[in-house]
Structure 1
Amino acid sequence: MNKNKIRHEIVSSNPDIEVRFYLSEDSGSYVAPHWHNSLELVYMMEGSMITQFENNVRQTLRPGEFSVVNPRVIHSVTSQKNKALVLLIPGALLEKYIPAHDFLEFHVDMHPENLVEVTRLERVKKIFTDMYIVYDVRPDAYLLKFNSLLYDLLYTLVHSYSIRFTDKAVH
Structure 2
Amino acid sequence: MNIKYEVVQPTPKLPFKYYLHDENSQKIVTPHWHRSIELGYLTSNNYLEFKDNDITYHYQKGDIWVINSRDVHSSQLNDSKNLMQFCLIIDYDFLKQAYPNINQLTFSLHGRPTSIKQLVAYQELEKELRMMIQLLQDQRDDGSNLSLTGHIYLIMANLIQNFSHKSDSTQTQLNETLIDQALGTINTYYMGDLNSNNLAKQLNTSVTTLNQQFHQAVQMPIGKYITTVRLLNAQKELLNTTNNIDSIAMNCGFSSTKSFIRNFKQWKGTTPFHYRKKFN
Shorter-chain TM-score tier: 0.7 to 0.9
**Pair 156,5 (structure 1): closer, same or farther in 2 beyond 3 Å:** same
Q: Which residue of 2 aligns with 1:65?
A: 63
> How many Å separate the matches in 1 of 2:14 and 2:104?
25
**RMSD, aligned α-carbons:** 2.0
Matched, 1:110 2:111: yes
| Equivalent pair of 1:26/1:79 in contact (CA under 8 Å) | no
| Equivalent pair of 2:65/2:110 in contact (CA under 8 Å) | no
What is the number of residues matched between the two proteins?
167
147-156 or 71-80, larger mean C-alpha shift = 71-80
> How many Å separate the matches in 1 of 2:50 and 2:113?
20
| Equivalent pair of 2:49/2:56 in contact (CA under 8 Å) | yes
Q: Which residue of 1 aligns with 2:135?
A: 134
Q: How far did 1:109 drift?
A: 5.4
| Equivalent pair of 1:110/1:121 in contact (CA under 8 Å) | no
Q: Which residue of 1 aligns with 2:2?
A: 5
Matched, 1:168 2:171: yes
> How many Å separate the matches in 1 of 2:5 and 2:92?
14
SS in 2 for 1:15: coil
TM-score, scaled relative to structure 1: 0.88
Q: How far did 1:16 drift?
A: 3.0
Aligned match for 2:17, one of 11, 17, 20: 20
> 1:30-69 residue pairs with structure 2 within 5 A?
30-46=28-44, 47-54=46-53, 56-69=54-67
Q: How far did 1:85 drift?
A: 0.6
> How many Å separate the matches in 1 of 2:40 and 2:110?
14
Aligned match for 2:156, one of 154, 162, 169: 154
Q: Select the structure that is richer in strand.
A: 1
SS in 2 for 1:159: helix
CA deviations 1:118-137 (Å, max 9, x no partner) are 22111110011111112221
**Aligned residues with identical type, % of pairs:** 21
| Equivalent pair of 2:63/2:112 in contact (CA under 8 Å) | no
Q: How far did 1:77 drift?
A: 1.2
Q: How far did 1:117 drift?
A: 2.2
Aligned AA (1:167) = T
Q: Select the structure that is richer in helix.
A: 2
Larger Rg: 2
SS in 2 for 1:73: coil
> Comparing both chains, which one has the higher relative contact order based on Cα–Cα distances under 8 Å and sequence gaps of 6 or more?
1
CA deviations 1:24-62 (Å, max 9, x no partner) are 1145521211111111111001112111133x3101111
| Equivalent pair of 2:59/2:111 in contact (CA under 8 Å) | no
**Pair 108,53 (structure 1): closer, same or farther in 2 beyond 3 Å:** closer
> How many Å separate the matches in 2 of 1:32 and 1:138?
30
5+ residue gaps, structure 2: 173-215, 220-280
